Each structure stands twice: as structure tokens, then as C-alpha cells.
Amino acid sequence: MQKYAPQLERVILAGYPPFLMDVMNEAVKRKFNFSHGKYTFITAGENFSEKWRDVLLSTVGSTDPLHDSVNIYGTADACALGHETPLSIFLRRKAMEDIQLRNELFGDLTFIPTLVAYDPNRIYFETVNDEIVLSVDSGIPLIRYNIKDNGHVYSRDEIKNILEKCGLSKEAKALFASDTLPLVGLFGRKDVSTTFYALNIYPENIKAGLEDDLLRPLVSGKFVIRTEMSKDQQDQKLLISVELAPQVKSSMHIRTLIRTSIINHLIELNAEYRKLYNSIKKKASPKVTVEENGHAMFAIRKNKMKWINNAI
């Protein structure tokens, strides 16, 4: 990038979201000049928040989140299945602040899920018992193939009705007219959360806490969650290990900031955790440890970051 980017009018950076953020943070650290051209991003492999998108785009000075990045949804079984559009990004961003829209689109989820458009002439999505199944003529034809993602398929009419119900038809008119494909929402998988006192804690709940403006300069955004029983086997403990940003050293103050932010966002986003916290208070509080940047625990292996590790 250092050698070739200054010679180009447009640079497209593609990658796995946590890795891409590492690359951009390193570029900022090295005072790389992004003013010589236009930068856009293609991401795939993981859900992320709109605040994360804003942070990524801010590294290159972008102020157009609807057009300067696109997240792709795909699987090893069937390759690319869908992609974000300006309309799907608009809906996600509005759902962050509009509770009615969020409930209409995603129900009682504790995070904003991936929302992508797909081509119904190439792939057929449907939901069975709240799980996404697909039929596609890929290398090996797949018929009603269950990829174990929970989710919902939105027809054009359903999106139109939701926009009308939430009073957003006028604001979204141009986007709705230009984005003519149906949408599918990916609500996550049951095997990518940790169980704590019988409730689910999702990585997105913790990510929100670490994306707080006060913490952004202090942490890399990577973490590992696990639960284990206390020595007397009477209580569960929620353990969260957090990677610090480069050149940031551990301190009691930083650990307290991280722990407080995570608890506050868990209470705000996860209704089940909120009830648990109000009931047992201190026992529901996570134990937070921090590790220096580059610790092996946070290495991206097999192209994925392992946020959950209940085997420890």
C-alpha cells in the first residue's frame, strides 16, 4: 500500500474485518497519507457494528458509509451469497437509533445483524424453524441446504411496509427505488455465543463495550470470552480477556474502564443480562483481564478470530 496506493485514483481494500482494522490502525500509526485518492472497503467473514464501520472509514477520511464499504455474506459451501447495498446499510444505521425499526426488522436481538441483498434468480433463501436454508446451483447443487445461521428473509413488499410503518418511506425513497433486490438478515448462530447462567452472551455485546469512544485508543477490539464454574461449583464466572492497543500498557485504571463499559453495554443491549445483573449484581459482573498487543490468544487462525473459548 505504501508503494502503490499514492499512484492510484482509487484503492479498494478487502479482507476479514478484524484483520483489516489491524492493517488500517498500523497505517495510521505510520502516518500514512490517505489524501491522495479515494479508498473503499470490502469485508467478509463476520458481522460488525455500524460504529465499527465508522471507525474504519474514519481512518481514510470517508464520510459516506452507504457507499464506501460493502460487507459480503458467503460460505465455503456456496461462495458469495449476498452483499450489502446502500439500502441495507441505511436500514442498519437507522435501526441503531430507531427502536421501532429495530424491532420490526430484527425482533428482540441484542445486536444489529448482518443485512444483505441477494439475487433471487441465482439463489433461493427461506427460513425453516428460524434457520436460513438455501437452494443454489453451485459447483455441487445445494437443495434446501441448512447453513445453521438463524435469520429472516425480507421480500421487497415487507421492507416497503416496514419503512411505511416506521415513517421512513420518504427518506428511503431513492434508496428503495435503486436497490431492487430482496434482503436476508443473518441473526447469528447458536454455537457462537457463550452461556452464562443459562442466558446467551454474544460477541457483539462485548464488541459494543469496546467500541466506546473512551476505549478506542486503548484497545485493539479483539477479545476472548469464556465461562467457568467457581471452585465450589456454586457459581459461574464470565471471563473476558481483552487485547490492548499497540504500545498501551496494562493498568488498574484501564481494566476498570473496560469492565465498566462492557457491563454498561451488556445491561443496555441484553435484556436477559440486565435482569440477571439486577438480581445477583456482583456475581453477574465479568472478570476482565488485559493482555499486551500481539498476544497469541488473539491470533487470527484459519481466517477467523475465535471470540468464544469455553474450552479454557
Closest by Cα among 85, 42, 91 to 179: 85
Confidence at residue 271, expressed as pLDDT on a 0 to 100 scale = 86
pLDDT tens sequence across 148-204: 888 999 999 999 999 999 999 999 999 999 999 999 999 877 656 788 887 888 899
DSSP 139: S
Q: Indicate if the pLDDT at residue 311 is higher than 50.
A: no
- CA-to-CA distance for 289 and 58, rounded, in angstroms? 28
pTM: predicted TM-score of the whole model, two decimal places? 0.82
pLDDT tens sequence across 126-156: 999 889 999 998 778 889 998 888 899 999 9
- Cβ contact 50:93 at 8 Å: yes
List all residues 6 or more positions away from 13 whose beta carbon is below 8 Å from its beta carbon.
Answer: 1, 20, 23, 24, 39, 40, 41, 42
What percent of the chain lies above the pLDDT cut of 70?
96
66 burial (CB, 10 Å; 0-12 / 13-18 / 19+) is: middle
**In Å, how far are 19, 20, 59, 188, 224 from 300, measured between CA atoms?**
8, 12, 22, 20, 12
Which strand (E) or helix (H) includes residue 136?
Answer: strand 131-136
Q: Can you tell me the mean pLDDT for 280-309?
A: 87
Confidence at residue 312, expressed as pLDDT on a 0 to 100 scale = 39
Cα 96 to chain centroid, rounded: 13
- CA-to-CA distance for 89 and 206, rounded, in angstroms? 22
